[in-house]
Amino acid sequence: MRIYGLDFTSAPSRKKPLTLAECRLEDAVLEVQSFECLTTFQVFEDFLWCDGAWVCGMDFPFGQPRELITALEWPSKWDEYVAAVARHNKEDFENQVAEYMAGRDAGEKLLYRCTDRAAEAQSPMRFHGTPVGKMFYQGAPRLLRSGLSIQPCRPTDESRTVIEAYPALVARRFLDRASYKDDARKKQTEDHRVARKQVVSGLRSEALKRTYGFVVEMDRSREREFVRDPAADALDSLLCAVQAAWAYTKRDENYGVPPERDPDEGWILDPELLVNGKT
């Protein structure tokens, strides 16, 4: 099965592109085949229409918290509220969310989806630092327009399938809370490099196979590139592919989404959340 992982950004460019990992899953081995830099959203949209059966994990929030959807009187279903958001320009969307936050008490301005709390991920309402709210605005409407099967927000019989990924969950299995990158690319230390080496080693390990059901196979030169790269964009895209491959193995079990979860909020696909997400 063709498996992709995508490291997303809200403003792709030559300096900071979307990084796409292409892999193949066969006989409990996820083989790393190639990486591609997508420097514009048009190239990203072209990728979404690639023919054939494939699954791609993308690291941005596909949805928003139910409490926000209700408070802003958006339509309740994912495809309807994403279409409504897409009818606003970026500034209007951000202002709408900011106005809602301004009316809330300090410390309670950001809302979280159930999956964000289970994964200890950032709120999809966040527009500063790591601007995942901007990523949602740029990513979710494009997914909707592409006609993909979007798990669990809008599942269809389409052979092109996307799932929400969060690469930090894979990395934490080998690092706990240690950092393996610095987004500013200015504060790299030997500890970061050692941490990336631990993640790469973990991808080949029996520990990964016990949890995800397969190991990752790549050439040694690629491993060295992962360790050297302080931004870890390619490494993150591979971690997204790991989660996409695992979700594919769970396709007959709702792709690994715990029962009774709100599909219109979206869900991060990872075995950790198959357990923790049930609580």
Query: Which of 34-38, 165-169, 225-229 is the least confident region?
Result: 225-229
Residue 259: partners with Cβ closer than 8 Å, 6 or more residues away: 278
Has residue 149 got a pLDDT over 50? yes
* 93-97 own/partner pairs: CB under 8 Å, 24+ apart: 93/137, 94/127, 94/133, 94/134, 94/137, 96/72, 97/68, 97/72, 97/125, 97/127, 97/133
pLDDT, residue 274, reads 84
Q: List the domain boundaries for the chain.
A: 2-61+162-249
pLDDT one-digit tens code per residue, 166-225: 999 999 999 877 888 865 555 678 888 899 999 999 998 899 999 999 999 999 988 899
Question: Taking residues 36-55, what's their average pLDDT?
Answer: 96
Cα 189 to Cα 179, 180, 185, 193: the distances in Å are: 10, 9, 10, 7
The mean predicted confidence, pLDDT, of the chain is 93
Please report, for residues 66, 104, 124, the alpha-carbon distance to residue 109 in angstroms, rounded to integers and kept in the order given: 14, 5, 12
Residue 279 has a pLDDT of 47
- Model pTM score: 0.94
The gap from C-alpha 262 to its chain's centroid, in whole angstroms, comes to 18
